[in-house]
Structure 1
Amino acid sequence: MATVQLSGASATRSLPPFEGLRPSMVRVSSVGPCSVGLKQRRFQGLVVRAATVVAPKYTSIKPLGDRVLVKIKTVEEKTVGGILLPTTAQTKPQGGEVVAVGEGRTIGKNKVDINVQTGTQVVYSKYAGTELEFNGSNHLILKEDDIVGILETDDVKDLKPLNDRVLIKVAEVEEKTAGGLLLTEAAKEKPSIGTVVAVGPGPLDEEGSRKPLPVAPGNTVLYSKYAGNDFKGADGSDYIALRAADVMAILS
Structure 2
Amino acid sequence: MATTQLTASSVTVSARSLASFEGLRPSSVQLTSFGLVKLGRLRQNRFRGLVVKASAVVAPKFTSIKPLGDRVLVKVKEAEEKSEGGILLPSTAQSKPQGGEVVAVGEGRTVGKTKVDISIKTGAQVVYSKYAGTEVDFNDAKHLIVKEDDIVGILETDDIKDLKPLNDRVFIKVAEAEEKTAGGLLIAATTKEKPSIGTVIAAGPGPLDEEGNRRPLSITPGSTVLFSKYAGNDFKGKDGSDYIALRASDVMAILS
TM-score, normalised to structure 2's length? 0.84
**Which of these residues, 195, 200, 203, is aligned with residue 199 of structure 1?**
203
Alpha-carbon distance in structure 1 between the residues aligned to 2:72 and 2:57: 18
2:229 matched to 1:220? no
2:142 matched to 1:138? yes
Alpha-carbon distance in structure 2 between the residues aligned to 1:38 and 1:91: 32
Alpha-carbon distance in structure 1 between the residues aligned to 2:103 and 2:178: 43
Q: Give 5+ residue unaligned stretches, structure 1.
A: 10-32
Alpha-carbon distance change, 81 to 46 in structure 1, aligned in 2, over 3 angstroms: farther
> More relative contact order in 1 or in 2 (CA 8 Å, sep 6+)?
1
Partner of 1:233: 237
User: What amino acid sits opposite 1:185 in the alignment?
Assistant: A
Larger radius of gyration: 2
User: What amino acid sits opposite 2:119 in the alignment?
Assistant: N
Aligned pairs for 1:83-122 (under 5 A) are 83-122=87-126
2:206 matched to 1:169? no
Partner of 2:214: 210
| Higher relative strand content | 1
Q: Give 5+ residue unaligned stretches, structure 2.
A: 11-33
CA contact (8 A) 1:95 1:121 kept: yes
Partner of 1:60: 64
Alpha-carbon displacement from aligned partner over 1:104-143 (angstroms, at most 9, x marks no partner): 0011111111110100000000000000000100000010
Q: CA deviation at 1:79?
A: 1.5
User: What amino acid sits opposite 2:121 in the alignment?
Assistant: Q
Alpha-carbon distance in structure 2 between the residues aligned to 1:166 and 1:124: 14
Alpha-carbon distance in structure 1 between the residues aligned to 2:39 and 2:69: 37
Alpha-carbon displacement from aligned partner over 1:3-31 (angstroms, at most 9, x marks no partner): 5141437xxxxxxxxxxxxxxxxxxxxxx
Alpha-carbon distance change, 38 to 84 in structure 1, aligned in 2, over 3 angstroms: farther
User: What amino acid sits opposite 1:76 in the alignment?
Assistant: E
Alpha-carbon distance in structure 1 between the residues aligned to 2:208 and 2:174: 27
CA contact (8 A) 1:3 1:35 kept: no
Count of residue pairs the alignment pairs up: 228
2:9 matched to 1:8? yes
**Which of these residues, 193, 208, 215, is aligned with residue 189 of structure 1?**
193
Alpha-carbon displacement from aligned partner over 1:191-246 (angstroms, at most 9, x marks no partner): 00000000000011100011111210011000000001111111111100000010
> How large is the Cα RMSD of the aligned pairs?
2.2
User: What amino acid sits opposite 1:146 in the alignment?
Assistant: D
| Paired residue secondary structure (1:132) | strand
Alpha-carbon distance in structure 2 between the residues aligned to 1:103 and 1:34: 49
TM-score, normalised to structure 1's length? 0.85
Alpha-carbon distance in structure 1 between the residues aligned to 2:63 and 2:248: 39
Q: Which moves more between the two structures, 219-228 or 180-189?
A: 180-189
